[in-house]
Structure 1
Amino acid sequence: MGRKQKLREEKRKIKNNPPLSVAATATASKTVAPAPAAIIVPPDDHQFPRASTNEQTDLNAFPKSNFYKVGTGLHKDNFFDLALNAFKRGAAETGCVPCMMEYANVHMHKQGNMIHLRLPWLLEGAIRGHTTFMSMLIHMCYSPNRYDTCHNEESKHIDAVALENYWGRIITSMNPDIPLTTIERRKNLKKEIGTFCVICSKKDLKDDVTLVACGKCGYYYYCGKECQLKHWYDLNHLGECRQLKIFNEYHKPYAKRIRKAIISGDDPKHIPELQTLRTKLGLNRPIEDYKELVELLNTDDDDDDDDGSNHPNRYNYRVATKKGTVHIGSTPESI
């Protein structure tokens, strides 16, 4: 390399990497200790007691807020409305998982047919890793027809078996004591679903058809395009499939991490994976987005016409919108 070429090379280096100032050079020459990470101390009302190491695997180890203690006392004294309000505040203001559970239970006993109001809180508890919430989602929301927990004729044919299978797998991954018979039952159900068209029940060998799986979730099978489109649009597999995609991308990889953080007493506001998932599911949507729907669904059945035609079926709002989000959120707050 000639002298002129070397000179040009040096100029290019200086241009691309301007020298530090004298003060900056002096600072850079010293070893500077990194600043300590900020310690986040949540307010008293939001700070949960820490669970001991031995309690990590115990579902009862989920931290309890003061709202839970107040609500439990009110419930024992038969002040059910006040207890319901305390549990709701504990769930909505502090993200207390036991409050979510009691709110769902008390609400179920007081207003058994208001499934649309319980669903978002069942989801909130499930994504935090409480397996009882997952079981309640399966039995009450996703497959009430098979488990005989729904006696509403209009809800037939809308069981969300793919979502049931998802939460069944999550329960198994978090609970090593799950009986093998339960695991086998779930696997056998998935195999059985793959032997017939989910719409017309035709079987590939018996009815001489070629079954094709859903190209998105791969769970349901169809004998042809007509049945697939009926399931996709008319029976809203569109929403179920998209919600399943959200769970697989934003919940499954982080499920155990979220659960461990919640049980350890971490402030849920500062668990980014949890807050991202809540946003993707629409749990933190503004109340104004679904206020009119809630008012409509909360209308007493007695206010309908004789044929009940004016009242929408609440069980049609158990799964998801066409975007995969929930129809009704829990709270817009970060909990």
Structure 2
Amino acid sequence: MSPPNAPSQAFAREVEDLVAECLSDPSAVINAARKGSFRDLCILGECAEKLPAEFARDAFSILCTKLKVPPRPAQSSNESNAANRVPEFIREEFKETWFSIFGISKIVTTFFKVPSEKAYYMPLVTKFWENLLESTEYVMFVMLDAIVSSPDPNAAPARGNLTGFKSAAFSHIAGLYLTVYLSSETLSRDQRSAKILIKIWANTAPSDPNVLMFTRGLRKLHVMPSRQLLEWLMQECDNSVDRVAQLVKERLIISLKRANINYEEVEGNVMAIIMLCCDEQRSFRAAFLKIKGIIGAATDGFIALGKDSKAFNAEKMHTIETCAMFYFDMFRSQAGIPWIIEGVRRGYFEVLARFSSAYTSNENAKVIVDSTKMLLSRVLPSHLVLFSVIGAVGSGLDSSGHLLKALSKSACIVKDEWEIFSSIALERIIQKHIYEKINWASKSESLRVMCSTCCKADAWNTFKKCAGCQAAFYCSKECQIEDWKKRNHKGECKDMAGYTDSVYVRQRDEKFLLGLAQQEISRHLPGLRKIAERDFPGVPRRKLGYILDYRTVPITFGHFRLDDDVMGEGENQSLTRLELRKKALESNGRGSFVSLRVHQGSGSMEKNITVNVKEESPSAIEVEFKRAVGQDARGNLLETRSDAVDVVLHDLGIKDPVSWLSSTQTPVKHLCERIDAVMVNHTTQIAAAVASTHARR
């Protein structure tokens, strides 16, 4: 039989003739192979899956006995001898081992589909399992080594045919171990087979015609610890996390750009990202996040998938489910904020709209619907307290404005959750735009650094920067220690290091959050007075601090006694909290202490500040817009008073957030232009309602 690097057409004709010979008289070929005929053994390997069942059993036994790892030839220091040495991949010993694995793989993947045949072969596979693993590792090593060490990478036909031969070989090996992995609970626990699937996946080009089999194999490894998967992938990528991340990105993008999208391939690649981007794999997630365009590329692919005219069959639904879980897992991870910013800016809302037909009460859509509802009603709204997230949401809504009506149709099962998100998003966009106009007239103010722990302003440019992420600033060593140990900066440091412009983004977000907190307290002051009287009767309000929990939807408000701060005491007490609490008590009501709780990816963060809250009520303004209202710890909605957002809503006559956001091609841009006009006509009224959006440091 010709070696694998023979000219492809001649080799193909030779194989066809040999297969026809075997099928015409299988017993003769089997007997010859049993007696040691190398030629007939190779023929069995080529046509094993086409044999009748009774002959396939005999062939399987013979092939298993031929599994061996030939000794590697000694390396010669003599260049002439080394040059003349026969390449390992065309040695007869190698080919005998390879064709044995080839035939075994074909028989297993073909006959395991029949229960009675599977029952017959499984004990034999178990018996020869060790030999099978060792032989497979040997064959893969030789083939990869032959390709890498080829003197001329572009040589034809040898190079091209060897690469194609490797593709077919790896495809059959992947099929073998994937079938065994799914068929035997005992053998599936052998990590060596999983490692073989990882090696195959990592060493196959995304454009390989057999890539689906390799991706299918990786997809089935989702039950394994992601730490182990990443370790093996790194071994195949020169221990470079960046190379692993780039490899995963390339595979996903190529699978999404195919003319005929294979749903299973897309699903497998997305699941690989989800597995490797879990909170345990911080290094990979940070490297993945640094790859420019990955989220946008994935989102573009999901949009293309949503445009696909094929009916929503089970296979397509599974793929859409995985895409939904991609956003669900990424947005809720410890690195959730940068993922949210990039995701919504690059087209997450269009993906939602394109997939709207999949949001049904059908049991197959349960995961898609549940994850989407959670993102729209809880995850995204709770992050709409950050300037960067609100800005990204505005950009995303503008780029998808013409499609958003699909989410408000009565048939859309996530309609209510979309309305919740739209209402909060519209309010925050208005607050953000007003805040920019009033507070950031000069760029120097927007770029002024604050301490990441106590919010003190860096008036003399003396604050120290975190050496890890280069994004957090501290006025003292004590604040740095507190942020690292007690406020979870240890958990976010690596993720922020991979986020471009993180210094400016973090500072801007924190300043906006402080101003937003002051406005929320001012707006809910009537209700806060009542719960203070209910929960702390007889205690002067100047001795009460505020709790403002943005992690819940709606926002949860509460009070605690500044002179009996149970939450702030103990061995984990915050030095900043103690200092600000004392400052608030000594201010005699001029400064109010606020404990802010916000999401920080999958975790949370507490920030303590002092603010000035004006007691006098602004003019009452009636609006038809159903605004989000905060609640107390018991779930009771609080009484509110008018603020700057009410001025805008009233003047623009906005009644329904969903209708407004789907009314024009660029609804947010149109809204901001209208707000500018309102501010020109009502500057004094809005300024009075805002009062002062600078929290006291």
> Which of 1 and 2 has greater Rg?
2
More helix by share: 2
**Do they superpose with TM above 0.5?**
no
> 1 or 2 for the larger relative contact order (CA 8 Å, sep ≥6)?
1
TM-score, reference length from structure 1:
0.34
